[in-house]
Chains A and B, each alone.
Chain A
Amino acid sequence: MNNSFVKWLLRIIVWAIYIALGIGIIVGIILLVRLNGPVFFVQAVLDGIRLGFVYALVALGYTMVYGIVRLINFAHGDVFMVGAFTSFFAITQYKWGFVPAILLSMIVCAFLNIVIERVAYKPLREAPRIAALITAVGVSFFLEYFTALKWVFGANFNTYIRPFEVVVWNIGGVLISNITIVIAAVAISLLLGLQYVVYRTKIGKAMRATALDKPTARLMGINVDATISLTFALGATLAGAAGVLYAIAYPQIWTFMGIMPGLKAFVAAVLGGIGNISGAFVGALLMGSIDVLVVSFVPTGSRLRDLIVFLVLIVVFLIKPAGIFGTTEIEKV
């Protein structure tokens, strides 16, 4: 009797929070448009979505790897960094164009991630999960400080040379640059490609089977090790592309550049429900928008940006531990 009353009360509280959040967001948007004019608002949302596309490409790598081996690959943000640097060298030293440079970055990152998986994670597959997680943190620091050595990439900030001239169009006061278009086009085509691979090909089927149940997948004749490596490679190609796009949009690179975007993409993956591909995409767009909207509209927002981003993570965990699109599943990480 008493117990069911508490449950009922809790349910009401949760629904009240949802409704309050919904109303709050709608009222907030109306207020923002009223206060600053629709042009400024649309501009901010556009900038946010652009950032969100980059986060989405990184978030997908987190979510795919988590889905298949239940590992949060903290080194993913650093693979993103290596992608940016690879294209930097291709563009500045060998004068490559945008398309070959981004393809090279994707290939280099894929190989790098396969090596990381084979060397650092595969031997720990049967070990307690916390061992692999800590190894991932270690790999992340290793990549950051190794690449910061003088004879690798160096510890300095490098100004990234954009491989094409910036063109800006003014559409009713809202400015759209060709960088935004390139980011959106590359991100969307890669996402569609990923969807195709995962849901329409044999390899994708093997990946989904491995994610579901490794021993059974192995009994069905699936090469589980190869499939896992392939998942890491696929995630890394997306991160490599994201690194290039990020560097073009915000042209300054250094070996620690992957930490913040990596963490935010991870938050995005959790927000959408980790292990869920479309969830990660939606989460990332939300994340990017929050990032830019906070700075645009909250007074002294540039200082509060990261505070609010990570507050969102905490709140989402409190209300819906599995994320927006996540399935409830008890996991000990």
Chain B
Amino acid sequence: MKRQLWILVVLMVVMSLVLSACAGGGVGTIKIAILVPLSGDVKTFGESTMNGAMMAIEEAKAKGMKIEVVSGDSKCDAQEAANAANKVISQDKVKYIIGEVCSSASIPISLIVNQNKVLQISPTSTNPGVTVNEDGSVKPYTFRACFLDPFQGEVGASLAMELGAKKAAVLFDVGNDYVKDLATYFKAAFEKKGGQVPVYEAYTKDDTDFSAILGKVAVANVDVMYLPDYYPKVNLIAAQAKEKGIKAIMMGGDGWDSPELKLDLLEGCYFSNHYSPDDPRPEVQNFVSAYKAKYGSVPDALATLAYDAANILLQSIKDAGKNDPTVVKDKMAAIQFKGVSGDISFDKNHDPIKKAAIIKIQGGKTTFYKFVAP
């Protein structure tokens, strides 16, 4: 009698174990690390990215996937990012990383994940070097959900031409790969289309006094001033440009996309971005209303790309049916995904193929201007 009871107990334990494993869809618990800047000058980027990725993950959890999230503050900094990536891989045994926001931090992470066969998808890093090695070969374990710096620089140049600009000034942070690349490709494309760039000036991250550079811009009498930096520097430069009487239209890239951008200083200016909340497609409108309900604000491009990136990752894991990055990476490379930021498929360099939205600052608000295809 006693023996039979024991067998029954053992049987029940085994059954419950088998059942719980089945509930995970055969994949088991998936460990995902989210590495974003949560402090420093671009922390709002990190917070939005975190919100977007968490929303996708929680939606998947509600549908029965078992996911454990590890988050890290990589501070948009090469060294911090490398430390954070090593920590989550060796200590937390994570197999998938979503991040980083900044290219300068995503590149060191990509080197580490490819050594350790961990799959990385960066939602927003736009430098070519994130997914491609210096010798031109693709990094097998690194993908991205956003378009590239060259593309954005070229879109900026076409837009400047469309606005009738003949002379442009370009100001850029020499220590930031993202800013430097946008500036380089803008200049190349603008000159190729017959424009002139009389002022092409570098500065460093810690510079606060732009009076000398802006003095040159004022003397050159340019039509357009291209500022592909992040919003804190754009605010700072715009405030000082006003003092120098500069009337040029200021233009930038997706680094401008933040609620902290000083719209009153940038009336009539433009920037290229990954999506616009005014886009009428149902994917966009559903996402925007769900995000608003959860976080109380309109999602910015970073939240959107992070949401898409997390969904691409989860979709690929589902397609693979296995918790193994070596299989998931091949499924990801072949994915056809209908995302909020557009229809996404990957080219041979693991870059997505999609469009850019141009946003105009008008009447103290950001408004959708038009789409530009590559």
Q: Please measure, in the bound complex, the distance between the C-alpha atom of A164 and the C-alpha atom of B243, giving whole angstroms.
A: 13
Which B residues lie within 8 Å of A47 (CB)? 209, 211-212, 215
Interface membership of A56, Cβ < 8 A: no
B242 touches A166 (CB 8 A): yes
Interface membership of A98, Cβ < 8 A: no
Taking A159-B262, A252-B235, A254-B41 as contacts, is the C-beta distance between A179 and B211 under 8 angstroms?
A: no
Q: Please measure, in the bound complex, the distance between the C-alpha atom of A85 and the C-alpha atom of B1, giving whole angstroms.
A: 78
**261-315 of chain A: CB within 8 A of chain B:** 291-296, 300-303, 306
B243 touches A179 (CB 8 A): yes
Q: Please measure, in the bound complex, the distance between the C-alpha atom of A51 and the C-alpha atom of B174, giving whole angstroms.
A: 23
Closest to A246 in B: B208
Which A residues lie within 8 Å of B201 (CB)? 302
Against B, the Cβ 8 Å flags (1 = close, 0 = not) of A162-184 are 10001010100001010100000
Q: Please measure, in the bound complex, the distance between the C-alpha atom of A43 and the C-alpha atom of B215, giving whole angstroms.
A: 8
Against A, the Cβ 8 Å flags (1 = close, 0 = not) of B219-244 are 10000000000001101100110111
B209 touches A300 (CB 8 A): no
Interface membership of B207, Cβ < 8 A: yes
- Interface residues of B, count at CB 8 A: 33
Q: Please measure, in the bound complex, the distance between the C-alpha atom of A259 and the C-alpha atom of B206, giving whole angstroms.
A: 10
Q: B245 to nearest A CB, angstroms?
A: 6
Interface membership of B189, Cβ < 8 A: no
Interface membership of A190, Cβ < 8 A: no
B211 touches A303 (CB 8 A): no
Which A residues lie within 8 Å of B91 (CB)? none
Q: Please measure, in the bound complex, the distance between the C-alpha atom of A175 and the C-alpha atom of B235, giving whole angstroms.
A: 21
Q: Please measure, in the bound complex, the distance between the C-alpha atom of A23 and the C-alpha atom of B174, giving whole angstroms.
A: 34
Closest to B215 in A: A43
Against B, the Cβ 8 Å flags (1 = close, 0 = not) of A131-175 are 000000000000000000000000111010010001010100001
Against B, the Cβ 8 Å flags (1 = close, 0 = not) of A35-53 are 0100010011001001100
Interface membership of B336, Cβ < 8 A: no
Taking A168-B245, A179-B243, A302-B203 as contacts, is the C-beta distance between A156 and B40 under 8 angstroms?
A: yes
Residue of B41, B240, B245, B260 near A250 (CB, 8 A) is: B240
B219 touches A40 (CB 8 A): yes
Interface membership of B67, Cβ < 8 A: no
Q: Please measure, in the bound complex, the distance between the C-alpha atom of A25 and the C-alpha atom of B149, giving whole angstroms.
A: 43
A257 touches B209 (CB 8 A): no
Which A residues lie within 8 Å of B211 (CB)? 47, 50-51, 292
A177 touches B243 (CB 8 A): yes
Q: Please measure, in the bound complex, the distance between the C-alpha atom of A300 and the C-alpha atom of B43, giving whole angstroms.
A: 30
Residue of A36, A157, A292, A301 near B232 (CB, 8 A) is: A157
Interface membership of B204, Cβ < 8 A: yes
Q: Which residues of A contact B (CB under 8 A)?
A: 36, 40, 43-44, 47, 50-51, 155-157, 159, 162, 166, 168, 170, 175, 177, 179, 246, 249-252, 254, 257, 259-260, 291-296, 300-303, 306
Q: Which residues of B contact A (CB under 8 A)?
A: 39-41, 43, 174, 201-204, 206-213, 215-216, 218-219, 232-233, 235-236, 239-240, 242-245, 260, 262
List the 5 closest A-B pairs by CB distance, nearest first. A295-B212, A250-B208, A47-B211, A157-B232, A252-B236
